[in-house]
A and B are shown apart, each in its own frame.
Chain A
Amino acid sequence: MKRSKPTNFSRNSNKNRSLPSASERATLTDLQRLMAGAVMRRLTPAEEMQKSWTDGRPTQQVVGEFIKPNDRLTSFERLEIYNRQYWNRILECFYGDYPGLQTLLGETKFRKLAIAYLDQCPSQCFTMRNLGRSLEEFLRAEPRHTKPIEQLALDMARLEWAHVEAFDAEACPVLTADDLLGLKSATVQLTLQPYLSLLELGFAVDQYLLSLKKEGDTLRSEASNAVTERRQQTVKKKNKPKRAKIFLAVHRMDDCVWYKRIEADEFKILSALRDGATLENACAATIDPEARSVEEWSALIRQWFQNWTSLGWFCRTGL
C-alpha cells in the first residue's frame, strides 16, 4: 500500500478560530441524529436491520447517503453491524438485571418485552445501570406484555429494580440507637438510607428470586469498550411464586443485598418516615389501640427501632 506523506492539519489551522461555529455543530448534530436513529431502531425478528426507513424509503438508500460502502460490505451492511451491536449490548445488560422476570415470562415473551421497553424507553444516562428505571411505569401502562401474570411480573420487576438500587446506591452516615435517645419525636424527621426500598407485594417473589440467584451472580455486568455478543440464557422452568401479601425491605449490609420481610405495621411506620412524617406522626398513624395495649405497642416499636438502627437504615444526615 502506498504510504501517505506526514501531514499536520493543525499547523494550517487558526488556533483563534478553533471553536466550532453554530452551523458546524448543527451539521454534526444532524448526522448523529440520523445515524443514532438507524442504530437504535428495532431489528427484524431475524435480527437484521429493517429494510424500510421510517418514511417508507429503502433503508439502503437513506444509509447510502451518509455511509460509504467498501469492497466487501454495502452501506447498509456496515451500519447493520452497529444496529446489531446496540441491541446486543443493551439486551445483555437488561437480561443481567432481570433474571427473575425472564424466568417468569420465559425467553420468548421476555425478549419481546425487553425490546418493546427499550425501544420506548431508551437509555438517558451515561451508565446502563439505570436501564430498568422506567420498567415499572412501562409495565403498568402496557400490561399486555406480561399477560396473564401482570401483577406477578410487576412485583418481580419492582423487586429486581430495588435490587439494583440496593447494590450500589449511596449509604449515608448511620444514625445509632444512642442518637435516637436525644431526639424529639414530635418534630424529628428521620431519613431512610437511599439504598433501602420498601415494597408491598402480592406474591412471594423474594424467595423465588433468591432461589434463582447463585453464588457469584450478585454483581452486575460491567461496562467495557468491547463488542459484546449476547449469549442465549438458559431458562429453567420453576413453579411460579405463591400469592401472598408480603412486606419487604430490600437493603444492603456488608456490601451484600438482602431481602428482609417485615411486618405490615413496620412497613407503615417506615413508609410514613420515608414520605416525610415526623417520628411521632408516623407511629401515631400506625398504632391501633384495639389491636394491642399501649404497653405492647411501646415495647414493639422500641424493638423495631432497635432492629432498624442496628441494620443502619436511618441516616444521621440532616439531624
Chain B
Amino acid sequence: MPANKFNGFTDYGIGIGLRVPHYDHILTRKPVVDWFEIISENFMVDGGRPLRILDQILEQYRVVQHGVSMYFGSAEPLNREHMKKLKRLVKRTNTPWLSDHLCWGSVDGRYTHDLLPMPYTFGAAKVTAQKIREARDILEVPIAVENVSSYAEFHASEMTEWEFLSEVVELADCGILLDVNNIYVSSRNHTFDPFDYLNNIPPERVAQIHIAGHSKFEKYILDTHDHPVIDPVWKLYAHANKLAGSTATLLEWDDRLPSFDEVHHEALKANKFLAQLEQKPVAA
C-alpha cells in the first residue's frame, strides 16, 4: 500500500548505492539487496564495461536512477544531449522514479560539477519548477528532487530552504527525495532546527529518503559520504518516516568506501526505524 501519491514504492525497502569497488562482490556473491541506486551519469555512456555491468545488475536487482548534473536550478535551459542520453538510460533501467538535486551547477554552458545552492526566491522557484516539468515530460518518468547540503546562503533569498523546496515541488507537482543527512548538515551550517525543516515540507510528496555520513570541521560540516550515519541523523530519519510513512530508503557511501557487507549492514539499520512505523502516515 503506497504511503502517499508520490511514493508508490513503499515496499522498496532499503537500498544502497552501486559503486565500482563492490562490483565483483555483488556479481559473484549475489547478496540479497532490496535495490541499488545508480548515479545516472556513470552509465550515460555509449558502450563498454559500465553498461555491461549495469545489464548484469539489472538481471538480478531493482535499480533506481539518481542524477548529479541535471541542474534544475540553473537558469539556462535543459541540455538536450543530456536529456537524450538520460532517456536512453531510463529505458534501459526501467527506473520507477528518477531523482536529481534542487541546485544549480552550470552557467553559459560551463559546468562546475558541483551542487551549488539556490537563492531562495520566487523567481528561482519558477525557473526550477519549469525545468522539472520539462524534464518529466521528456523522460516520461516521475521525478523527485533532493535537498542539498549547503555552505553558503544568499542575501537575495526571500524564504527558508524548506519553504523554497515546498514551493518548487508544488509548482512542479513532483516528489521529494528527502536527504536527512543534508538537512542535518545545512542545519548546523546555517543554524536552524532540522525538525522545523521536516515539519514544514509536504510529507505526501516524499518519494525517497537518503541517509549518509558527513565530516565535521571546526566551523562547518561537509557532506562527504564517508562515515556511518550519526545518531542525530537517525532521529531525523525516524521523524521523517513518521511524517511521510514507510519510504524507500538509500544509504549513500561514496568515499573511503568500506566492504560491501559493512555498507549494507549500515544501511539495514534503517529497518529498526521502519519496523516501528504504523502503516498509515501521520497527517501533516
Contact = CB atoms under 8 A, between A and B. Distances in A.
Contact of A10 (B104, B112, B170, B252): B170
Interface in B36-55: 39, 41-42, 44-52
B41 A82 contact: no
Contacts of B116: 32, 35-36, 39, 82
B126 A226 contact: no
Interface string A1-15: 111101111100101
A27 B160 CA distance: 19
A223 B69 contact: yes
Interface stretch (B5-13, B187-195, B261-269): B187-195
B124 A124 contact: no
Interface in A290-306: none
A256 B127 CA distance: 43
Given A68-B154, A72-B220, A127-B41, A19 B68 contact: no
A68 B155 contact: yes
Interface string A159-197: 000000011111100000000000000000000001100
Interface residues of B, number: 84
Contact of A4 (B39, B160, B202): B160
Contacts, number: 231
Interface stretch (A52-60, A73-81, A141-149, A271-279): A73-81
A7 B200 CA distance: 7
Contacts of B189: 70
Interface string B197-224: 0011010000000001001000110111
Contacts of B130: 18-20
A168 B50 contact: yes
B156 A31 contact: yes
Given A168-B45, A194-B46, A224-B39, A82 B114 contact: yes
Nearest to A35: B116
Interface stretch (A84-92, A260-268, A280-288): A84-92
Contacts of A75: 152
A255 B104 contact: no
A33 interface: yes
A72 to B, nearest CB: 4
A171 B47 contact: yes
A36 to B, nearest CB: 5
B152 A122 contact: no
Interface stretch (B27-35, B71-79, B234-242): B71-79
B101 A225 contact: yes
Nearest to A78: B152
Most chain B beta carbons < 10 A, residue from A39, A75, A226? A226
Contact of B127 (A28, A123, A124, A229): A28
Given A3-B196, A85-B114, A224-B225, A126 B41 contact: yes
A195 B107 contact: no
B200 A6 contact: yes
A9 B107 contact: no
A21 interface: yes
Contacts of A244: none
A4 B200 contact: yes
Contacts of A71: 191
B52 A255 contact: yes
Contacts of B50: 168
Contacts of A26: 75
B120 to A, nearest CB: 10
Contacts of A39: 112, 114, 116
A166 B49 CA distance: 10
Does more than half of chain A's interface fall in helix, strand or loop, or is it mixed? loop
B101 A33 contact: no
B200 A226 contact: no
Given A3-B199, A40-B112, A67 B153 contact: yes
B266 to A, nearest CB: 15
A32 B74 CA distance: 8
Nearest to B46: A170
Nearest to A9: B167
Contacts of B224: 226-227, 229
B215 to A, nearest CB: 8
A3 B193 CA distance: 7
B104 A32 contact: yes
A169 B46 contact: yes
B171 A10 contact: yes
B151 A228 contact: no
B114 A226 contact: no
A228 B215 CA distance: 11
Nearest to B189: A70
A76 to B, nearest CB: 10
Interface of A: 1-4, 6-10, 13, 15, 18-21, 23-29, 31-33, 35-36, 39-40, 65-68, 70-73, 75, 77-79, 81-82, 85-86, 89-90, 122-129, 166-171, 194-195, 219, 222-229, 252, 255-256
The 6 closest A-B pairs by CB, nearest first: A24-B123, A10-B170, A170-B46, A226-B225, A168-B48, A168-B45
19 contacts: A7-B200, A18-B130, A26-B75, A31-B119, A36-B112, A40-B112, A66-B155, A72-B220, A77-B219, A82-B114, A125-B111, A126-B44, A126-B69, A169-B48, A222-B39, A225-B223, A225-B252, A226-B225, A227-B223
Given A8-B202, A24-B127, A126-B81, 8 more contacts: A8-B166, A28-B119, A39-B112, A39-B114, A82-B151, A126-B69, A168-B48, A223-B69
